[in-house]
Structure 1
């Protein structure tokens, strides 16, 4: 027991020795007469409240205008030529063909109102050696449409369309080993002016269908002697120059790039006259154009038209043309 007490006393003395040494090492120092300087704070300090002043900043005016018009113009020129020597055993005939086409389209869109104008002019001729020169293409087409949107896909529209041709048209036949041309059409003989109002359905940008519930069409034959070579006279009474029709009309338009650099454009028109409403009196016309871009300045196109109008002919009429030539599109 005495030994345990002695050990405890020794341990307590060892633990208290550092505390005693620390208390002795801490010596208070008087700083009253010492010249001590504190390092200055680099940040400015203010004792008074901050005052904020209103600063007027002039607004930046951007001189920019919104253009609601979108226009595109394309011009195409096609030239085909063939030449053979007199002793060419493969056969053939010397020929030259020239054709041109101008397409212009302008579209205005603002809010629920839209306006579209489209012009298509085509003309071409071919001359074969020993034959009369003939037309390969001849058309004037001018279409204007204004529309007011009434729902997401439907609009109320009004349109005005004009169609005719530039040059005289002939039919050809051989008579006594000579080629004879007979005049059958010319500028404004016939000519068509169509006014239509109704509703337009346009679910996507590349397709639209006009339903013209109120449509009027004037057929012009200004050459009053044309009936002598064209007995039907395009439905206009002999001696008169104009015929008026009221009808229900459907116009469907499709234009889309179906392959890279290949555009398919088609227009179908169905004209149903309210007077003498029979299947035989319903007029149909389908125009199709397939254009493929070869390079920046050249393209190839194939055009076709199918027409049924009993005032022109009792049978279906058709035309087709294939061309390769220069093309210029603005803006590029």
Structure 2
């Protein structure tokens, strides 16, 4: 009974407070009431504000938009080894030097873009009691113009030039003293390749693209056919070679129509201070069997030690039956100095 009375009392108090709150919030009609507000003690000023115009001399900025972007990379690598006459572990004195120049210019405005990429490589090595030999030798110049069709698709036209700087030789032992000798097998623009292509390019990101050259023509040039034939006959007087790099021995030029696929992975940082560049090209002639499809893969992996020194390893895989029936490969590892402008 006591608990009941306490609960009843609490219920009465809560209902009373609610009722009181409800009474406090009743609206009061103030119509007709004379309510005077006290004047603010703060001083006030009533008047018009005069605004005087200020003359501002317009500033003319004489700036022009540059749609061009250029970069130049120069690399030099040196390799040297020397041994005394009594060096029991064996070895051959050697000296090697190589260089790389890569110039790239690009123009982009609205839906049009143009890119010119020039790569020049040359290197030589000299071992004791041996003839000088090339370690790398290439001139590659690619020019491409794009018209944007959608976010990732472009219509492109390109012209590519590829050849070498210096004479190329095949080395062998012969003669009365079995000395090292050389046979001329290639020269500057012998062979030389010029490829024109139009088609569509897929470029989902800045560092990767794939070209589908539906209309492609490639010209193979032999600038000095007589020198190559003479070198072949000097090595083998009974030789009856019919063609050189796919060009008949009685001509200096050959044209082919084909479908071409070119994929490029630009110099992209894949790890800390490690950059990858790769380019794959497939050339499918329209008038020849599928066994004459040409393949070329270039891969370069570069690691930067500091701003000027880097370690570079590059490899090339080539399959071209006009040049050789087997797969050709080359690899080069170098420690050198590299400079890029602008930085």
Shorter-chain TM band: 0.7 to 0.9
CA distance in 2, matches of 1:111, 1:328: 31
1:137 and 2:148 matched: no
Question: Deviation per CA, 1:169-190, whole angstroms, max 9, x where unpaired?
Answer: 0000111421010000010000
- The offset of 1:58, in angstroms, is 3.5
Question: Deviation per CA, 1:1-60, whole angstroms, max 9, x where unpaired?
Answer: xxxxxxxxxxxxxxxxxxxxxxxxxxxxxxxxxxxxxxxx998765xx777676654332
1:1-332 to 2 correspondences below 5 Å: 46=47, 57-176=56-175, 177-225=178-226, 226-229=228-231, 231=241, 232-255=243-266, 256-276=268-288, 278-332=289-343
CA distance in 1, matches of 2:156, 2:187: 32
TM superposition score normalised by structure 1: 0.83
Unaligned runs of at least 5 residues, structure 2? 1-41, 233-240
CA distance in 1, matches of 2:49, 2:333: 83
CA distance in 1, matches of 2:126, 2:171: 14
CA distance in 1, matches of 2:273, 2:103: 19
CA distance in 1, matches of 2:202, 2:163: 27
Aligned-CA RMSD value:
1.8
Question: Deviation per CA, 1:189-243, whole angstroms, max 9, x where unpaired?
Answer: 0000011111110011111001111111110001122145563401111121111
CA distance in 2, matches of 1:56, 1:97: 71
CA distance in 2, matches of 1:54, 1:227: 89
CA distance in 1, matches of 2:290, 2:156: 27
Unaligned runs of at least 5 residues, structure 1? 1-40
Number of aligned positions between the proteins: 289
3-state SS of 2:248 partner: coil
CA distance in 2, matches of 1:67, 1:212: 30
CA distance in 2, matches of 1:316, 1:166: 23
Residue in 1 that maps onto 2:31? none
- Larger Rg computed on CA atoms: 1
CA distance in 2, matches of 1:293, 1:215: 38
3-state SS of 2:225 partner: coil
3-state SS of 2:299 partner: strand
3-state SS of 1:252 partner: strand
- The offset of 1:66, in angstroms, is 2.0
3-state SS of 2:291 partner: helix
TM superposition score normalised by structure 2: 0.80
Q: Mean Cα displacement is larger for which, 77-86 or 184-193?
A: 77-86
Question: Deviation per CA, 1:50-84, whole angstroms, max 9, x where unpaired?
Answer: 77676654332223322222221111111111111
Q: Mean Cα displacement is larger for which, 67-76 or 119-128?
A: 67-76
Residue in 1 that maps onto 2:237? none
